[in-house]
């Protein structure tokens, strides 16, 4: 006997006019109402009355795809300019669960939007009054049954009309604008003055480079920082003590910027969410093929791919006054994305990653644009402090760009770099503008780090409001922002070091991220006590310091320190025992003579606003186990 198949029944009506208005709740699991979906009106529309039958989650995507294709084909035939997706429980007695019904309808809506249609979807689970004026031509009333195993017999699958393409321009801090095309981009002088930007443009317009293994993968292993975890899934990593120091430094710095500099409120939300919650299912549908899903006790759950899951659910219950806006919320979000296994490349693309997220809730577009500028300043300062080569890119709706070009120029004056700007012919996403700082790796690829997105849709969609001056509920504008994943920043810093190697320069990490910042090397066992005494003084100043007490030659100890990229190496012998001046080898600068006080002052000057994480390994190298290699 066959199992039940998921089906969608469609009643399609081409209407001169269709209007609806919500009256009362029909189901406890009804979708949440907002100002956008409480009532609706469409002219010259194809109205799709849809009943979702018998739930079989494995068939959902296939059935939705067939249904959307069928609806789109009829819409093109009748010349409808808009499609109404209307939940209608009266076409079949065999109904799906409300959760599956809502998911299916939203997926139909998203699929039709991707095909270029304007879509109005009425909310599920409510009694509604509606008025429909049918056109009355031969194709104005049609019905369809869509199942997981049968395609609609009379529907001819047609390719969607080609959407207008994006236009790419270069905008400079001085306001000069250059339109790009595949013929001229290599010859633009402005790109020759910003080589990372030139490479980014080449990757976007000329096609990306052939796949080459990024050098950071070998470096992260050789330096005993990070490695693949063979007992886990692809794209999940183990961090050795040295790697854990770097990761914790970056996380603490991200938290400092958010909480101390930007006065954001820190929260923490779960990793795991139930898909029978309509708002969670809506968010999860954005990455349907890229999220971890599994069942526990009969309930389907997903691991979050971003911090939005818990944050948006939390903000629905928060009472916010207009006086409290902009409101900044920070979370160090441990997130998961089921990337294709072939796309997982070292720390550049992972399935488990750590994302420092700052969301800002603003009362209107003007406030959001000012808030965007504030975030832009802090993220620019952070990126410049990392010592990596990067390019600036914006993605924005053309109409927004043309109306606010002076605002874009103000942002570029902050970063003092030209930018690639992709002009979208129309709004495709929840954001109207976003920017990225794209780091160029040592093999010519690019990876996104910093991003800010100006979201004009999600607040109303997920029921996030503030109370205005008149005591009325208003939808927020949301800024989504992050410095980029912690793991990808480690990759970017190691890739910058790999560039130094290619240029015959000494590779190094920024001092504040170096697992060992100072190493003390006694020339013999006679000077070990002095070496430990110096190290203890440096440790008291919150400097990561170790002592090479191994029974090896001084030359070997210095070579090992160089191999580990230790920034400062103090050699302690008879001269240092008799006087106050130390012999210090500074990476990339050679040998210097410094007093301990001067050395400490120099180190503190470089570490002034950076995290002071302790050493995660024993101070004596003879006590350190070998983790890799």
Q: Where in the chain is the domain with CATH 3.40.50.800?
A: 511-623
pLDDT digits (tens, 9 = 90+) for 55-110: 555 577 888 888 898 898 888 877 787 999 999 888 777 788 888 888 889 999 98
pLDDT value of position 385: 87
pLDDT value of position 165: 84
pLDDT band at 149 (very low <50, low <70, confident <90, very high): very low
pLDDT at 298 over 60: yes
Strands 167-171 and 177-179: antiparallel
pLDDT digits (tens, 9 = 90+) for 426-469: 887 889 999 999 998 888 888 999 999 999 888 877 889 999 99
Averaged pLDDT, 275-296: 80
Q: Is 534 helix (H, G, I), strand (E, B) or coil?
A: helix
pLDDT band at 411 (very low <50, low <70, confident <90, very high): very high
Please tell me the distance from the alpha carbon of residue 76 to that of residue 138, in angstroms, as a whole number: 15
Q: Is 221 helix (H, G, I), strand (E, B) or coil?
A: helix
Strands 141-147 and 7-25: antiparallel
pLDDT band at 159 (very low <50, low <70, confident <90, very high): very low
pLDDT value of position 163: 60
Domain 511-623 maps to which CATH number in 3.40.1260.10, 3.30.2030.30, 3.40.50.800, 3.40.30.10?
3.40.50.800
Q: Strands (DSSP E) along 148-236, which ranges?
A: 167-171, 177-179, 226-228
pLDDT digits (tens, 9 = 90+) for 339-362: 887 788 899 989 999 999 999 999
CA distances, 539 to each of 24, 115, 371, 542, 566 (Å) = 68, 61, 40, 5, 16
Axis crossing angle, helix 486-502 with helix 241-255, rounded to the nearest 10: 120
pLDDT band at 162 (very low <50, low <70, confident <90, very high): low
pLDDT band at 470 (very low <50, low <70, confident <90, very high): very high
Phi and psi of 234, rounded to 5°?
Answer: -55, 140
pLDDT digits (tens, 9 = 90+) for 526-557: 999 999 999 999 999 999 999 999 999 999 99
pLDDT digits (tens, 9 = 90+) for 214-242: 899 999 999 999 999 999 999 999 999 99
Please indicate whether residue 159 or residue 28 has the higher confidence score (pLDDT). Answer: 28
Of residues 487, 465, 462, the one with CA closest to residue 474: 465
pLDDT value of position 211: 63
Given a contact cutoff of 8 angstroms between Cβ atoms, the answer to whether 391 and 199 are in contact is yes
Query: In this predicted structure, which of 126-140, 318-332, 494-508 has the lowest mean pLDDT?
Result: 126-140
pLDDT value of position 115: 85
Given a contact cutoff of 8 angstroms between Cβ atoms, the answer to whether 566 and 587 are in contact is yes
Strands 7-25 and 126-134: antiparallel
Q: What is the DSSP string of 297-314?
A: TTEEEEE-SSTHHHHHHH
The CATH class that applies to domain 7-147 reads: alpha beta
Q: State the DSSP code for 620.
A: B
Q: State the DSSP code for 525.
A: G
pLDDT value of position 153: 38
pLDDT value of position 147: 67
Residues near 348 by beta carbon (within 8 Å), at least 6 away in sequence: 214, 216, 441, 445, 447, 488, 491
pLDDT digits (tens, 9 = 90+) for 552-593: 999 999 999 999 999 999 999 999 888 889 999 999 899 999
Query: In this predicted structure, which of 147-161, 180-194, 396-410, 477-491 has the lowest mean pLDDT?
Result: 147-161
Q: Is 224 helix (H, G, I), strand (E, B) or coil?
A: coil
pLDDT digits (tens, 9 = 90+) for 234-263: 999 999 999 999 999 999 999 999 999 999
pLDDT value of position 21: 92
Q: Is the four-CA dihedral 279, 283, 286, 291 of positive or negative sign? A: negative
Q: Where in the chain is the domain with CATH 3.30.930.10?
A: 167-269+321-494
Residues near 101 by beta carbon (within 8 Å), at least 6 away in sequence: 52, 87, 95, 124
Looking at every residue in the chain, the average pLDDT score rounds to 88
Q: State the DSSP code for 161.
A: P
Given a contact cutoff of 8 angstroms between Cβ atoms, the answer to whether 151 and 400 are in contact is no
Instruction: End-to-end CA distance of the chain: give it in Å, rounded.
Output: 58
pLDDT value of position 289: 62
Q: What is the DSSP string of 474-492?
A: EEPEEEEEES--HHHHHHH
pLDDT value of position 4: 44
pLDDT value of position 155: 37
Averaged pLDDT, 382-403: 93
Q: Where in the chain is the domain with CATH 3.50.80.10?
A: 7-147
pLDDT value of position 156: 40
pLDDT at 629 over 70: no
pLDDT value of position 402: 94
pLDDT value of position 221: 95
pLDDT at 161 over 80: no
Domain 167-269+321-494 maps to which CATH number in 3.40.50.300, 3.30.930.10, 3.30.830.10, 3.40.50.720?
3.30.930.10
pLDDT value of position 599: 96
């Amino acid at each position: 006997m066959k199992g039940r198949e998921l089906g969608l029944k469609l009643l399609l009506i081409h209407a001169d006019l269709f209007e609806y208005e919500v009256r009362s709740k029909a189901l406890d699991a009804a979708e949440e109402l907002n100002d956008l979906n409480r009532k609706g009106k469409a002219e010259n529309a194809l109205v799709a009355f849809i009943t979702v039958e018998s739930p079989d989650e494995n068939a959902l995507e296939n059935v939705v795809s067939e249904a959307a294709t069928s609806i789109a084909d009829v819409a093109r035939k009748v010349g409808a300019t808009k499609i109404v997706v209307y939940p209608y429980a009266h076409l079949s007695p065999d109904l799906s669960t409300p959760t599956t019904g809502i998911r299916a309808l939203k997926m139909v809506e998203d699929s039709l939007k991707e095909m270029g249609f304007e879509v109005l979807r009425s909310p599920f689970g409510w009694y509604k009054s509606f008025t429909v004026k049918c056109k009355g031509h031969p194709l104005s009333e049609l019905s369809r049954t869509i199942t997981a195993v049968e395609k609609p017999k009379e529907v001819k699958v047609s390719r969607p009309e080609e959407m207008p393409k994006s236009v790419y321009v270069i905008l400079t801090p001085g306001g000069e604008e250059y339109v790009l095309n595949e013929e001229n981009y290599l010859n633009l002088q402005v790109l020759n003055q910003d080589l990372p930007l030139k490479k980014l443009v080449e990757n976007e317009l000329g096609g990306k480079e052939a796949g080459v293994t990024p050098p950071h993968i070998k470096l992260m292993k050789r330096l005993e920082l990070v490695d693949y975890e063979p007992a886990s899934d692809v794209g999940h990593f183990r961090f050795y003590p040295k790697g854990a120091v770097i990761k914790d430094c970056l996380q603490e710095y991200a938290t400092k910027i958010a909480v101390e500099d930007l006065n954001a409120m820190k929260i923490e939300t779960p990793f795991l969410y139930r898909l029978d919650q309509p708002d969670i299912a809506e968010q999860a549908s954005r990455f349907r093929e890229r999220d971890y899903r599994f069942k526990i006790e009969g309930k389907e759950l997903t691991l979050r791919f971003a911090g939005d899951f818990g944050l948006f659910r939390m903000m629905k219950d928060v009472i916010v006054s207009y006086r409290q806006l902009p409101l900044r919320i920070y979370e160090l979000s441990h997130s998961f994305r089921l990337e294709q296994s072939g796309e997982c490349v070292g720390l550049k693309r992972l399935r488990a990653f750590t994302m420092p997220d700052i969301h800002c809730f603003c009362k209107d577009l003007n406030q959001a644009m000012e808030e965007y500028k504030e975030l832009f300043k802090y993220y620019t300062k952070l990126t410049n402090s990392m010592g990596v080569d990067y390019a600036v890119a914006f993605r924005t709706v053309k109409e927004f760009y043309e109306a606010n070009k002076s605002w874009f120029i103000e942002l570029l004056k902050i970063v003092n770099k030209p930018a690639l700007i992709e002009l979208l012919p129309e709004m495709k996403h929840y954001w109207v503008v976003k920017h990225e700082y794209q780091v160029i790796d040592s093999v010519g690829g690019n990876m996104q780090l910093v991003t800010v997105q100006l979201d004009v849709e999600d607040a109303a969609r997920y029921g996030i409001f503030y109370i205005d001056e008149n005591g009325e509920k208003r939808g927020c504008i949301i800024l989504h922002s992050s410095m980029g994943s912690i793991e990808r920043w480690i990759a970017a810093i190691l890739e910058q070091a790999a560039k130094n190697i290619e240029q015959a320069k000494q590779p190094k990490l920024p001092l504040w991220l170096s697992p060992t910042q100072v190493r003390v090397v006694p020339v013999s066992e006679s000077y070990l006590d002095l070496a430990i005494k110096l190290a203890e003084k440096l440790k008291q100043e919150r400097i990561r310091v170790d002592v090479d007490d191994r029974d090896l030659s001084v030359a070997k100890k210095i070579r090992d320190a160089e191999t580990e990229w230790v920034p400062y190496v103090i050699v302690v012998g008879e001269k240092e025992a008799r006087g106050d001046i130390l012999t210090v080898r500074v990476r990339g600068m050679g040998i210097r003579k410094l007093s301990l006080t001067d050395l400490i002052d120099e180190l503190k000057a470089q570490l002034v606003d950076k995290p002071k994480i302790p050493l995660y390994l024993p101070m004596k190298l003879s006590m350190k186990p070998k983790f890799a290699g």
